[in-house]
């Protein structure tokens, strides 16, 4: 992947420095023009820790100037996420309280729209945006593994092993998505659609990296995982039904049917065996579990609101 097109003064400056390797003057980088400019910059800085960019030298992954820009953007973004959050439920009876918190959350459903009335073109747009996450599906949770106790680590590995295909590269969830994209006539090249990704997609991906790459936010990472899994099974069924209605290829439908079954198991694992065990050991992390969980649902809502408004217009 090449570095994306800039979307403002900050991304322009930071991307030029990443390409040239001359990062010495980033201390005087201009402020971001818009939230999108800030989020795209942060996304590209995080991407250095995943697959990276062909036009950026590998040694810049730990460049102190770039890390300083990242830290500034992360601080702002974390404050924004915390400011959006409602009060966390009482710590008593975590598992049941968590499932109730997720069930009581009411947001717009993109999957319901896809099931009943989305056009093929709208679904193509949705799938292009979803490549930003699904082509590195589950990777953000992998960052958190070395930061956990043996008990929690083993449970996260059980879930991740499934996301990564149980040892079969053809069953890797990211790979199932690749096959679905190819058969649907879309570009499955990693990062191909980053220039199309709207603010809400960038925010969602950045929240995953923020929580995964900062040890102090490990509980938010696992809370994000738990809410993500707990809100996946039934929408995945609706997505599969909508794709079937529109005549999408079997491989694209299979990506979603795989998640109907898998995520019904993953949600139990993530809420009870992962977050439950984490909080039994470190109860002071309770509110951070909810920071992650609320962010997962709220960021999905924000994206759904944008797309439903756009398509209604
Ligand atoms: Fe998955
Ligand atoms: Fe899953």
pLDDT in tens, 46-91: 999 999 999 999 999 999 999 999 999 999 999 999 999 999 999 9
Which stretch of DSSP H or E encloses residue 252?
Answer: helix 250-268
C-alpha 173 to ligand 1 mean position (Å):
5
**CB of 14 closer than 8 Å to CB of 21:** no
| pLDDT over 90, % of the chain | 100
C-alpha 289 to ligand 2 mean position (Å):
18
In 3D, which of 267, 263, 261 has the Cα closest to residue 226? Answer: 267
CA distance 104 to 42: 32
C-alpha 228 to ligand 2 mean position (Å):
8
Encode pLDDT of 74-85 as tens digits: 999 999 999 999
**CB of 184 closer than 8 Å to CB of 248:** yes
- Compute how many other C-beta atoms are within 10 angstroms of the C-beta atom of residue 295: 27
Encode pLDDT of 215-245 as tens digits: 999 999 999 999 999 999 999 999 999 999 9
C-alpha 12 to ligand 2 mean position (Å):
36
**Given the structure tokens 């738990």, which residue do they identify?**
226
C-alpha 165 to ligand 1 mean position (Å):
9
Task: Give residue 166's pLDDT.
Answer: 96
| Whole-number Cα distances in Å, 269 to 27, 47, 157, 275 | 44, 28, 11, 9
C-alpha 21 to ligand 1 mean position (Å):
36
Instruction: Answer whether residue 140 shows pLDDT above 90.
Output: yes
Q: pTM of whole model > 0.85?
A: yes
| pLDDT over 70, % of the chain | 100
**Given the structure tokens 């702002």, which residue do they identify?**
76
C-alpha 24 to ligand 2 mean position (Å):
41
Task: Give residue 247's pLDDT.
Answer: 98
C-alpha 72 to ligand 2 mean position (Å):
31
Calculate the average pLDDT of the chain. Answer: 97
Q: Which ligand number lies closest to the CA of residue 274?
A: 2
Q: Which ligand number lies closest to the CA of residue 173?
A: 1
Q: Which ligand number lies closest to the CA of residue 257?
A: 1
Instruction: Answer whether residue 313 shows pLDDT above 90.
Output: no
Q: Which ligand number lies closest to the CA of residue 258?
A: 1
Q: Which ligand number lies closest to the CA of residue 229?
A: 2
C-alpha 233 to ligand 1 mean position (Å):
10
Encode pLDDT of 158-201 as tens digits: 999 999 999 999 999 999 999 999 999 999 999 999 999 999 99
In 3D, which of 173, 175, 155, 171 has the Cα closest to residue 267? Answer: 155
C-alpha 163 to ligand 1 mean position (Å):
5
**CB of 99 closer than 8 Å to CB of 230:** yes
In 3D, which of 49, 88, 94, 86 has the Cα closest to residue 67? Answer: 49
Task: Give residue 229's pLDDT.
Answer: 97
**CB of 69 closer than 8 Å to CB of 14:** yes
C-alpha 219 to ligand 1 mean position (Å):
20
C-alpha 38 to ligand 2 mean position (Å):
29
Task: Give residue 238's pLDDT.
Answer: 98
Tokens of 211: 């929580």
Question: Hey, CA dihedral for 241, 246, 251, 256, is it positive or negative?
Answer: negative
C-alpha 57 to ligand 1 mean position (Å):
31
- Compute how many other C-beta atoms are within 10 angstroms of the C-beta atom of residue 106: 8
Task: Give residue 312's pLDDT.
Answer: 93
**Mean pLDDT of the region 149-165:** 98
- Residue 279, C-beta contacts closer than 8 angstroms, at least 6 positions apart: 91, 94, 219, 285, 286, 289
**CB of 226 closer than 8 Å to CB of 98:** yes
Q: Which ligand number lies closest to the CA of residue 171?
A: 1
Instruction: Answer whether residue 95 shows pLDDT above 90.
Output: yes
In 3D, which of 297, 294, 288, 276 has the Cα closest to residue 92? Answer: 276
**CB of 143 closer than 8 Å to CB of 211:** no
Helix (H, G, I), strand (E, B) or coil at 56: coil
Instruction: Answer whether residue 137 shows pLDDT above 90.
Output: yes
**Mean pLDDT of the region 268-289:** 98
| Whole-number Cα distances in Å, 46 to 29, 43, 211, 243, 249 | 18, 5, 12, 32, 33
**Mean pLDDT of the region 132-145:** 98
**Mean pLDDT of the region 12-39:** 97
């Amino acid at each position: 992947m090449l570095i994306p097109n800039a979307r403002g003064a900050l991304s322009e400056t930071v991307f030029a420095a990443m390409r040239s390797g001359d990062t010495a003057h980033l201390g005087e980088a201009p402020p971001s023009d818009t939230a999108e400019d800030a989020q795209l910059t942060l996304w590209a800085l995080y991407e250095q820790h995943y697959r990276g960019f062909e036009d950026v030298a590998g040694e810049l992954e730990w460049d102190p100037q770039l890390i300083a820009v990242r830290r500034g953007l992360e601080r702002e973004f974390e404050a924004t996420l915390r400011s959006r959050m409602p009060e966390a439920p009482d710590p008593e009876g975590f598992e049941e309280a968590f499932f109730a918190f997720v069930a009581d959350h009411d947001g717009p459903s993109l999957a319901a729209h896809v099931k009943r009335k989305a056009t093929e073109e709208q679904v193509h747009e949705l799938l292009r945006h979803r490549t930003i996450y699904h082509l590195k599906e589950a990777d953000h949770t992998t960052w958190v593994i070395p930061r956990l106790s043996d008990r929690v680590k083993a449970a996260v590995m059980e879930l991740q092993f499934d996301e990564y295909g149980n040892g079969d590269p053809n069953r890797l969830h990211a790979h199932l998505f690749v096959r679905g994209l190819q058969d649907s006539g879309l570009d499955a090249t990693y990062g191909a659609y980053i220039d199309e990704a709207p603010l809400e997609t960038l925010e969602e991906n950045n929240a995953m990296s923020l929580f995964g790459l900062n040890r102090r936010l490990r509980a938010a990472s696992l809370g994000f995982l738990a809410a993500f899994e707990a809100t996946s099974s039934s929408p995945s069924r609706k997505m599969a039904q909508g794709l079937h209605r529109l005549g999408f290829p079997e491989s694209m439908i299979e990506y979603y049917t795989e998640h109907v079954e898998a995520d019904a198991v993953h949600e139990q694992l993530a809420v009870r065996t992962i977050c439950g065990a984490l909080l039994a050991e470190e109860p002071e992390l309770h509110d951070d579990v909810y920071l992650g969980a609320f962010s997962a649902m709220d960021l999905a809502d924000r994206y759904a609101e944008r797309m439903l408004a756009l398509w209604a217009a």
